[in-house]
Structure 1
């Protein structure tokens, strides 16, 4: 085989690889972009719908304070009734 034949084979091989690789790269790029978009939408949904850790902690603290006040009120009522 001559150099020209090897060069033709190499060009053909590169063209074959490019023909296969280009659609695959385009597919993966589109898939990654769609995944990023869906993840962004999900993050927005979670941020709008669910409470943050600090919100839950604040709510727990408020409930605890209200329970303490309620127990103190009950205790005062019971101690007044016992006298």
Structure 2
């Protein structure tokens, strides 16, 4: 897993993303981001979906199968 800074696509005025936090059986938790938000995450490709990524946040929460079109990698951090 690599640590990266990502920026969500769009701008804060018209784009909002709600990422469901895993495991998938628990749909009550989610995290909200707006276009242009930047966050450092641990990222790895989703095994069977080549266009999606699993993201782990600094607090240990995670979101799985996040479409790559939702964000851009703007910086890779050394381990």
**TM-score, normalising length: structure 2:** 0.12
Higher relative contact order, chain-length normalized (CA < 8 Å, sep 6+):
2
Higher strand share: 2
**TM-score, normalising length: structure 1:** 0.11
Higher helix share: 1
Rg comparison, structure with higher value: 1
